[in-house]
Amino acid sequence: MKYQIEISSIAESEADRAFLRLSQLISPTKASQWYSGLLKAIESLSQMPKRCPLARENHYFSQEIRQLLYGKGHNSYRIIFAIVEEKIPTVRILHIRHTSQQRIGEETENSDMT
């Protein structure tokens, strides 16, 4: 079964920020290669998205949230997505987050403590 891919505006802006960051830290050429690879990784989710493990934030959501790791070392990111089994099976990309970032939901929990 082939899944349609939908990318949220939040995920798009997170990917754009990562690209700009990598352009400044490494080089625009390497950042472009990274971005192209990111799009290919996202597109790979159109086939067998359930191959990816549950995301560590899964318990914060009412539906199953999965993740696909992309990149290496300091440039490793998590593609966080949900699978929607409707009339048109869809993979919704919710976030693109650096692996060192806190879990989704932890930011608000920690800010409540201060």
Phi, psi of 62 (to 5 degrees): -80, -20
- Residues 60-98 have pLDDT tens digits of 888 999 999 998 888 789 999 999 998 999 999 999 999
Structure confidence at residue 103 as a pLDDT band (50, 70, 90) = low
Q: How many domains would you assign to the chain?
A: 1
Q: Which residue has the tokens 């970032």?
A: 101
Higher pLDDT, 35 or 75: 35
Alpha carbons 97 and 110: distance in angstroms, whole number: 18
Q: How much is the mean pLDDT over the chain?
A: 89
Domain extent for 92: 4-113
The whole-number pLDDT of residue 107 equals 54
Cα-to-chain-centroid distance, residue 60 = 16
- Strand, helix or coil at 68? strand
DSSP-assigned letter for residue 114: -
Q: Is a pLDDT exceeding 50 seen at residue 22?
A: yes
* CATH assignment of the domain containing 109: 3.30.2310.20
Cα-to-chain-centroid distance, residue 87 = 24
The whole-number pLDDT of residue 81 equals 97
CA proximity to 18, closest of 76, 58, 73: 76
Cα-to-chain-centroid distance, residue 77 = 7
* Average of per-residue pLDDT across 48-55: 96
